[in-house]
Structure 1
Amino acid sequence: MFSCSRRVYFIFLLFTGLTPASAQEQLDAYMLELSLKELLEIDIAGAAVRDLGLGQAIKTANPFELSAMQLPLSVEVINSRTMRARGLKTVTEAAEHLVGVISGESPAEPSSFSMRGFIRDSVIILRDGIRLGPASMTMRPHNTFNLQQVEILKGPASLHFAPPTASGIINMITKKPVIGQESVTELFGAYSRFDSSEWGIGRSGSLTDNLAYRLDINRAGSNGWVDDTDSYSFNITASMLWQASPSLDVLLSFDYLDDDLPAYWGTPLVPASFSREPIPGIIKTDNGSVLDQQLRFSNYNIDDQRSDSEHLWSKMITRWQVNGRIKVKNTLFHFNADRAWKNAESYVFNPETLLLDRDRFFVFHDHEFYGNQLDINIEHLTAQVEHQLTIGLDYARTDFERARGFPGGDSVDPHHPVAGMFGPLERRLSPTKIDEFALMVEDSLFLNDNWYLSLGIRKDFIGTTRDNFDEKGVFIAGDSFKRTFKPTSYRLASSYQLSDNVSVYGQYSTGHDPVGSNIFLVNGNENFDFTDISQYELGVKSVSADANIEMTSAIYKTKRENILLLVSHDSVGNSGSQVAKGMEFAVSARLSQNCRVGGNFAYTRAKYQDYLDPDFGVDASGNTPPNVPKWVANAWFSVNHIAGQPLELGGGVRYIGKRHTNFENTVTLQDYVVVNAFAAYTLDKLRISINARNILDEDYAPWGDIFYPNQIGIAPPRAIEISFQSKF
């Protein structure tokens, strides 16, 4: 089995054993405008209310660096300044502050997301533009210290990374080197309730005139708000940029993650007659089950539990400006990971014994993924019309070995649980091999100074082989699977500048995703095509004449057809559909030089049509998908330079509407409001902050795991955090 820790030393050798050189940085061009004094100052006052950034170019699926105002799609960015100002330490927290995004931190599916009426693997997760596979199998909680920004594209709006999925894309973009910058060091530290702590150190600079480096190290840990739920995360990102010539540069980067998730798999539902202290306001169930305050902080996992992983990304990105019209970008990448889960995951109250019946489940991943992305971008004039053409060629190879088992369980007293041990491991192997090749062409025209038109198409060839073996290593031919999928996706989009300050856009796009959205788990009884996804979207983006107010709004309809339908106990087929309609709105306003406000809301109506869920055999026709609220809203404010001092006060309010936790819609998570607040005092090179999270101590459940319907993960109680940031 691969061990990433054997290779981490190479990251450090990168900065100690190479001969210095120097280069021109293109990846973070905006930083070139900053003077050394500005780079060394902690200047994030007011950033808690982020700009919508309509005049800026996003990095995701934007080869010609169009501004967000020009792009005919719904896109959002939250950068490191805003994440630091709000005290957002994880990607989950950062994404939740954007329009209509909710998430959960179930150990079974870390950092699951819900957007635009679709959940889990309908959201593509990227790390620096690389998709590892289905998010439910590959995603881990990621800290924000090592990130430059997080970008979200809504719906099947991009053809650049994979067959588009219904919800959209979340792209985590790590910090990169900046040439011409003198050496800069960044420090961060934080401590809060439950012995939660985090620290980070970043170092960047130029070694010579054509070589620059960046190194960021971050560690977070906590004892957890539930008994025996220690966790930690350790992330190193390192990169070096070399400019071989004025038209050619090469970026070499490494990204290492070692983590262990908290062992909290939820608080069990119990009958109201058994509960000693029911918690009001969190859930509503059709059978009268409740959550008990006296069980809230109990851990029902085993003593030798595991939910850990070790990952290493390696990338080499080459950018070549062939001439004034043609540029080429090539990304060669390799990824390797070990992941392990060994837990008692499910806790079901037994009314006859008055005990909790626990299961046992283990699964180990040995995941290798490598490939190459080639993008050729051409700009030229056609009959005096500005013409942009992108051609993409992608190849990737996945070797994914999954070992799993279901040993017998036991029962424990709900009020006095004895952890116990897991027991023997009898592994069943399920190796999956996937070869992916894709051709993408996107052709865009500026028909005049105001009118932009784009047409794109993507053709994928996905060869999948999945083998299944029993506990004795005997091949199970009936459960195994081999097939090549050939989905075709396309997008027609246009934007029109009504004035210098107002733009309208529209698009029609299609996409496809695998059976159950998880191609790593396709078995022999699932030999049918990908689902069909289509979306219509209209939107408006505007900036006030004085640039103090920015607004965006969008309406959309997304349909996912030919999704899984249970035909019999042993087989499924292509049928059924899911439809989501909604509207989104975001605003950011500077009321005065020192006062800013901002907010957003999303309204979503989503339901299944003629759908029988294959995992549980539930007829969900007409029901709302799990973890999809009708309303999501956020609002923030900040006031700085209070009484002429470098003092900033601010806060935010988040509202999440009711959601269901299962396909039957028999368990409902109640709506909730969370209030956060902060105060920060800034000196030249030091910012000290106090963040109050969940200041009203609201009891709520952010997410319901569909595979664990008898327990609910309750959010942490109020916590006060003190932190510092420094740059020198």
Structure 2
Amino acid sequence: MSSLCLLALNHSAQADEAPLTLPTGTISAPALDTQDISLQTPTSAGSRLGLSALETPASTESLSGERIRQRGDRSVQDAVSRSTGISRTGTPGDGGTSLSARGFTGQGSVMQLYDGNRLYSGMGTVTFPVDTWSVERLDVLRGPASVLYGEGATGAVVNVIPKKPFTGEIENHLRLGYGSYDSQQQALDSGGSLNDTLSYRLSLNRLRSNGWIDRGDSTSDFISAALRWQATDDLAFTLAHDYGDQQPMNYFGTPLVNGRFHEGLRDKNYNIGNDKQHYNDQWTRLTSEWQLSDSVSASNELYYLKAQRRWQNAENYNWDTAGQQLLRSGNFAIKHQQEQVGDRQTFTFKHSLFGLDSQTLTGVDYNRIRFQLNSNSPFNDALPDGQPLDLQHPDKGRFDSASAYRAQFQSTTKQMSVFAENRTQLSERWSLVTGIRRDYVQVDRDDLVDGSQSDKTLTGNNWKAGLVFALTPDTSFYGQYATSTDGVGGLISLSPSQQQYDLARARQSEIGLKQVFWDQRGEWTLAAYHIVKKKLLTDDPGNPTLKQQVGQQSSRGLEASLELQLPHAWQLQANAAIVKAQYDDFEEQVDNQFVSRSGNRPVDVPRRTANLWLNKAVTDKLRAGAGVRYVDARYADLANRNELPSYTVVDAVLSWKALRNTTFGLQLNNLFDRQYAQSQYNEGQQWILGEPRSFFVTADYTF
């Protein structure tokens, strides 16, 4: 903190001294994506200063797009859940993208970015990006990230970096794929220089599948295009547009029968016949990079985001123990329309601070978001007790609601923040990294049913301070303290009652060790942390119709990762995490009685997670790999009575370079056909199962 506060006072005193210089040379486009990411690679998630993981006093991790695709991970969530301490908790209601990290779950606590930009989630739903074909890299920062990205990032932040234009000869990559359930893929990746100043990147991907449940068809189409203009050696512009249209497998889970899971129901679909689940997303960005001088650079990003989402389903399947039958209810029709315009301007300075080498970034971020919700609220079914269904042969039926589908509300949210980050080299081995941020949010909501209006102004102040001790150039110890803020719901969709509350606040203490060893052939990390989050909403025993913002939740844990380049062309990647998470102060109203949930574990949080992946170059042309993913048991309710069992899943891949520019691949998912609950719905009464054993064959051709 002190280095940021004293920067302005010291700047004029240092004006006559020789300035620190940035590396000279043309602002150039990044090269093709590569697997070669290490602790010495700059990470976008942990800092805006371009620091490497060794220089960052926080837990960061990067996955290359090439490695993700070689492992057969078809979604960002599949890929990132192989990283340390992160597990999947997604359901159709949140776009299937929800994650859990460090004891905190959901879009309100684990933020997901696309190329550094945040789409504010409406009703907790994020539906982008569509797949991993266009991904150049995934950067992960575990722990509070509000100083960098604003509210909603207490558990972690995941930044999806798309493929970028690059200079050089034009290269093309074509992929055709086919697999289980009539799954198909047609994809193209093309990029290179058009002339001395223009370069481009174009990625296209088309996916189709019949799905592994009855009536489980899914489709997705994705286009990512970018054009880069190197106007001068010191100035470059990039115009990018991404388009995704997807209709996922419309599956709300397999119901429990008398509280138990029955394996014979795995492929049954209990949804209605005229179901809908459709997501359409568009992102347009204009980025400017300008090297103003040897010591000053600037960056600006102007962006426009548009998202449309539509659901029409019967979502709840409850087993009636008295009548010994399955009842289908929850006929929900919902539509989201969202538009976001934003701009982020940053300046980076290399300077001297009290004679010490220092680097400072300052910036301003502005967003204007329009959101409208249409639905059939209050969601009364035509059959109040639910529609009886045959477990083995469920009737498709039709959408049947007693509530009219209509416009419910629209909101306009204006967000502005100012932020700064600094790194000062205190000595040859010690460095200090600090950051501050202030957010201002104005939410205006118009009720389109009764014509009422409401508004709320929210502010958030966050800071971080971390020390890094470089024991050697390849070994660093660090300690950090950071704060964050989370909303009590998605900011752009806060109800009038939710608008009465402040942002929840969290703080984290963390220490860790990172090391590159064995002549750069190995690296490992270890981190320990403690997070406390206050101002949770909890039921008010004095007034059953109200809530109090007095709750508290905490977590503490250990995380470790290891990567080795072993003899005889073996490669090993492994990680493990253990977390103890609990509600410290929380009340829930059950049958008009107030019950304390203090000491209980939060929903969807596993105590332990672990991942292992082993690769082997059998010959110069033949490569094989296999991975194991472990997720511990999780609770599906606040009372900690409904439990989802732990699971271990094994995947395998094989690739053969048949010709110089032709490679064939085989992906085997869930090799031992494990039936497991990846997440849950309806307070654990429905298990959203992981995909059964499946194969996918690919043919890749480069030219």
Q: Using structure 2 for the length normalisation, give the TM-score.
A: 0.91
| Aligned residue number for residue 175 of structure 2 | 188
| Aligned residue number for residue 397 of structure 1 | 368
The yes-or-no answer on 1:98 pairing with 2:83 is yes
| Aligned residue number for residue 460 of structure 2 | 487
Cα distance in 2 for residues equivalent to 1:693 and 1:578: 36
Q: Give the counterpart letter for 1:340 in structure 2.
A: R
Shift of 1:591: 1.4
Cα distance in 2 for residues equivalent to 1:637 and 1:294: 33
Cα distance in 2 for residues equivalent to 1:164 and 1:248: 34
The yes-or-no answer on 1:496 pairing with 2:469 is yes
The 3 A distance-change label for structure 1 pair 594 and 168 is same
Cα distance in 1 for residues equivalent to 2:660 and 2:470: 41
Shift of 1:264: 0.8
Contact 1:526 1:573 in 2 (8 A): no
| Aligned residue number for residue 530 of structure 2 | 557
| Aligned residue number for residue 206 of structure 2 | 219
The yes-or-no answer on 1:63 pairing with 2:48 is yes
Corresponding residue to 2:355 among 365, 384, 398? 384
The 3 A distance-change label for structure 1 pair 714 and 662 is same
CA-to-aligned-CA distance 1:312-356 (integer Å, 9 cap, x gap): 101101111110111110010101121101100111122344232
More strand by share: 2
| Aligned residue number for residue 113 of structure 1 | 99
Cα distance in 1 for residues equivalent to 2:463 and 2:127: 27
Shift of 1:666: 1.0
Corresponding residue to 1:673 among 631, 648, 670? 648
The 3 A distance-change label for structure 1 pair 207 and 52 is closer
Cα distance in 1 for residues equivalent to 2:702 and 2:76: 22
Shift of 1:708: 4.6
Q: Give the counterpart letter for 2:305 in structure 1.
A: F
CA-to-aligned-CA distance 1:468-502 (integer Å, 9 cap, x gap): 34xxx322x4xx53111111000011211001221
The yes-or-no answer on 1:329 pairing with 2:317 is no
Contact 1:504 1:540 in 2 (8 A): yes
Q: Give the counterpart letter for 1:702 in structure 2.
A: Q
563-572 or 448-457: bigger deviation: 563-572
The 3 A distance-change label for structure 1 pair 265 and 24 is farther
Shift of 1:516: 3.6
Contact 2:27 2:233 in 1 (8 A): no
| Aligned residue number for residue 147 of structure 1 | 135
618-627 or 194-203: bigger deviation: 618-627
Q: Secondary structure at the match of 1:270?
A: coil
Contact 1:564 1:614 in 2 (8 A): no
Cα distance in 2 for residues equivalent to 1:355 and 1:589: 51
| Aligned residue number for residue 449 of structure 1 | 428
Contact 2:151 2:487 in 1 (8 A): no
Q: Give the counterpart letter for 1:172 in structure 2.
A: V
Contact 2:368 2:413 in 1 (8 A): yes
Q: Give the counterpart letter for 1:639 in structure 2.
A: K
Shift of 1:621: 1.7
Contact 1:576 1:611 in 2 (8 A): yes
Alignment of 1:225-240 (within 5 A): 225-240=212-227
Corresponding residue to 1:265 among 233, 252, 264? 252
690-699 or 381-390: bigger deviation: 381-390
Contact 1:657 1:670 in 2 (8 A): yes
407-416 or 311-320: bigger deviation: 407-416
Cα distance in 2 for residues equivalent to 1:310 and 1:133: 15
Contact 1:257 1:311 in 2 (8 A): yes
Cα distance in 1 for residues equivalent to 2:416 and 2:60: 27
Shift of 1:158: 5.5
The yes-or-no answer on 1:178 pairing with 2:154 is no
The 3 A distance-change label for structure 1 pair 336 and 645 is closer
Corresponding residue pairs, total:
662
CA-to-aligned-CA distance 1:399-458 (integer Å, 9 cap, x gap): 000111124154122222111111464224121211001010222201122211022110
Q: Give the counterpart letter for 1:242 in structure 2.
A: W
The yes-or-no answer on 1:571 pairing with 2:546 is yes
The yes-or-no answer on 1:584 pairing with 2:559 is yes
| Aligned residue number for residue 66 of structure 2 | 81
Q: Secondary structure at the match of 1:360?
A: strand
160-169 or 436-445: bigger deviation: 160-169
Contact 1:87 1:691 in 2 (8 A): yes
Cα distance in 1 for residues equivalent to 2:535 and 2:454: 20
Cα distance in 2 for residues equivalent to 1:182 and 1:27: 13
Q: Secondary structure at the match of 2:418?
A: strand
Cα distance in 2 for residues equivalent to 1:67 and 1:351: 57
Shift of 1:24: 6.1
Contact 1:516 1:564 in 2 (8 A): no
| Aligned residue number for residue 598 of structure 2 | 621
612-621 or 673-682: bigger deviation: 612-621
Shift of 1:517: 5.5
Cα distance in 2 for residues equivalent to 1:216 and 1:677: 26
The yes-or-no answer on 1:125 pairing with 2:112 is yes
684-693 or 406-415: bigger deviation: 406-415
Corresponding residue to 1:302 among 269, 272, 292? 272
Cα distance in 1 for residues equivalent to 2:588 and 2:240: 42
Contact 2:443 2:455 in 1 (8 A): yes
Contact 2:469 2:476 in 1 (8 A): yes
Cα distance in 2 for residues equivalent to 1:264 and 1:141: 20
Q: Give the counterpart letter for 1:253 in structure 2.
A: A
Shift of 1:620: 2.4
Shift of 1:259: 0.5
Shift of 1:207: 1.4
Where in structure 1 are there 5+ consecutive unaligned residues? 1-22, 32-38, 272-288
| Aligned residue number for residue 3 of structure 1 | none
Where in structure 2 are there 5+ consecutive unaligned residues? 1-24
Q: Give the counterpart letter for 2:701 in structure 1.
A: S
Q: Give the counterpart letter for 1:535 in structure 2.
A: Q
Q: Give the counterpart letter for 1:193 in structure 2.
A: S
414-423 or 342-351: bigger deviation: 414-423
Q: Secondary structure at the match of 1:345?
A: strand
Contact 1:210 1:244 in 2 (8 A): yes
Alignment of 1:279-294 (within 5 A): 289-294=259-264
Q: Give the counterpart letter for 2:699 in structure 1.
A: F
Shift of 1:165: 2.2
Shift of 1:587: 0.5
Contact 1:445 1:452 in 2 (8 A): yes
Q: Secondary structure at the match of 1:159?
A: helix
Q: Give the counterpart letter for 2:126 in structure 1.
A: T
The 3 A distance-change label for structure 1 pair 299 and 140 is farther
Cα distance in 1 for residues equivalent to 2:78 and 2:484: 28
| Aligned residue number for residue 336 of structure 2 | 365
Corresponding residue to 2:155 among 157, 167, 187? 167
Q: Give the counterpart letter for 2:417 in structure 1.
A: A
Contact 2:47 2:148 in 1 (8 A): no
Q: Give the counterpart letter for 2:535 in structure 1.
A: N
Shift of 1:64: 3.1
Cα distance in 1 for residues equivalent to 2:119 and 2:398: 33
Q: Secondary structure at the match of 2:92?
A: coil
Cα distance in 1 for residues equivalent to 2:183 and 2:607: 33
Please report the RMSD computed on the Cα atoms of aligned residues, expressed in angstroms: 2.0
| Aligned residue number for residue 435 of structure 1 | 414
| Aligned residue number for residue 692 of structure 1 | 668
Q: Give the counterpart letter for 1:426 in structure 2.
A: Y
Corresponding residue to 2:444 among 454, 462, 465? 465
Shift of 1:518: 5.2
Q: Give the counterpart letter for 1:435 in structure 2.
A: K
Shift of 1:696: 1.0
237-246 or 293-302: bigger deviation: 293-302
Q: Secondary structure at the match of 1:194?
A: helix
| Aligned residue number for residue 317 of structure 1 | 287
The yes-or-no answer on 1:543 pairing with 2:516 is yes
The 3 A distance-change label for structure 1 pair 720 and 433 is same
Q: Secondary structure at the match of 1:486?
A: strand
Cα distance in 2 for residues equivalent to 1:573 and 1:53: 46
Contact 1:551 1:587 in 2 (8 A): yes
